[in-house]
Amino acid sequence: MMVALVERVRGFAMAASAAGRFEMPFEMPEGPVVSSRWQGELGRVALLSERELQVFSLLGVGFSNRGIATALDVTERTVKAHVARILTKLEVESRLQVGLVAQAYQLMYQGTVSAIKPLPDN
């Protein structure tokens, strides 16, 4: 959502500049724009195991522990253990922060946030 807003503002600014109605005081960045807030955490993503990366990615698109367990065919208890290790390795305090780091990671390294829909919590 934030990327779409940035792209929209970028488009308006560039159109106004091209029409001579606005002079841009700076160069607009190319590609996805990601806050520098998560730089330390993004660097620590390399510490995650392959399975932790899978859990990390699913947290980034809003999966619950139950949804992750279903998607990866493991128990919720196993997912909770993975989430706890991810929190420790990334040095964050909540799964929300993990999700934000995961979205920033996808934007920086994949150019997009996955459109996977969370599984129902049945």
Which CATH code fits 37-122?
1.10.10.10
DSSP state of 25: S
Q: Using CA of residue 107, residue 105, residue 41, residue 4, what is the dihedral sign?
A: positive
All structural domains of the chain with their residue ranges: 1-33, 37-122
pTM of the model: 0.62
pLDDT per residue as tens digits for the range 86-107: 999 999 999 999 988 888 888 7
Range in 4-13, 38-47, 61-70 with the lowest mean pLDDT: 4-13
Q: Hey, how many other C-beta atoms are within 10 angstroms of the C-beta on 40?
A: 12
